[in-house]
Structure 1
Amino acid sequence: MSITTTVHLNFRDSARPALEFYQSVFGGHLVAFTNADAQQVQHPADADRISWGEVRAANGFHVMAYDVREEQAYDAGDRAFFVSVRGEDAGEITTYWKGLSDGATVIEDLGPAGWTPLYGMLRDRFGVTWVLDVAVAYNAG
């Protein structure tokens, strides 16, 4: 079993152009999955916002990004990034979730999401926001 940690950047309406820019600089493959793709539109303004996106290059560059939803406050200086932990084994991700949950504030409980069978977000007792999920093959763009 193995996991990866990746910087997860947070935007409001600029995740796609940011990912396109990083791809132009570092190369690699860009994936951008909207809230509409995930069937998780809670506010009309969120439909075309990126729910999950990434650029991954053969040279080792990897960054993830999304657009903060309408109902959530957004300040580029507040929660500008998450630490993302991805793995292929749901049991392993669940174990890490349980460990990080000690003293944490759960933002989104660990459970199914539109792009993965298991996803959760929490702010640990030190104020760091973590997102954990199970990696799956994915072709939206």
Structure 2
Amino acid sequence: MSVQTTTHLNFRGTARAALEHYRDVFGGQLQVFTYADAHRTGEGAVADEVVWGQVESPAGLRVMAFDVPPQRAYDAGRDAVFVSVRGDDADEITRYFEGLADGGVVREALAPSGFSPWYGMVTDRFGVTWVLDVAVAYEG
């Protein structure tokens, strides 16, 4: 048996825009399935909002998202989740960081850190906080 984990982000009406932005930043394929596609608009959901969506990049990054329907309580919280993106190419990490920072807030500029030669933190325009770094091998 094989198991994978995928970051699944919840939004209120902006899931499609967020997924489109992530596709633009990371590349890859965007898939979107709306509440209308799922025949679930009778529950008060907005027909053209996302009941399931995903971006999968050629490099292997996958992120999923959906729009929480209006009848369900939703609170994005504060720093409840960080999405971590690790790679082995500083130029690629820099490109992702800059794309996510467009319209967002840089919380920690890309720079060397004690655990990585290149690390930064950014909250994108949709309120999602991303930590990006160049991975290094740990001995221990």
TM-score (norm 1): 0.52
Query: For the residues of structure 2 that align with 1:64 and 1:18, how far apart are their CA atoms?
Result: 10
Q: Who wins on radius of gyration, i.e. which is larger?
A: 2
Aligned partners of 1:43 and 1:70 also within 8 Å? no
Amino acid at match of 2:27: G
Amino acid at match of 1:46: V
Structure 1 or 2: more strand by fraction = 1
Structure 1 residues without counterparts, runs of 5 or longer: 82-141
Aligned length: 81
| Percent identity of equivalent pairs | 54
Query: For the residues of structure 1 that align with 2:74 and 2:44, how far apart are their CA atoms?
Result: 17
Structure 2 residues without counterparts, runs of 5 or longer: 82-140
Higher RCO (CA < 8 A, seq sep 6+): 1
1:34 aligned partner: 34
SS in 1 for 2:21: helix
Across the aligned residues of Structure 1 and Structure 2, the Cα RMSD in angstroms comes to 2.0
User: What is the Cα deviation at residue 52 of structure 1?
Assistant: 0.3
Deviations 1:70-92 (A, max 9, x none): 110112217x76xxxxxxxxxxx
1:77 aligned partner: 77
1:17 aligned partner: 17
Query: For the residues of structure 1 that align with 2:51 and 2:70, how far apart are their CA atoms?
Result: 12
Equivalence map 1:54-133=2 (5 Å): 54-77=54-77
1:99 aligned partner: none
Query: For the residues of structure 2 that align with 1:16 and 1:48, how far apart are their CA atoms?
Result: 9
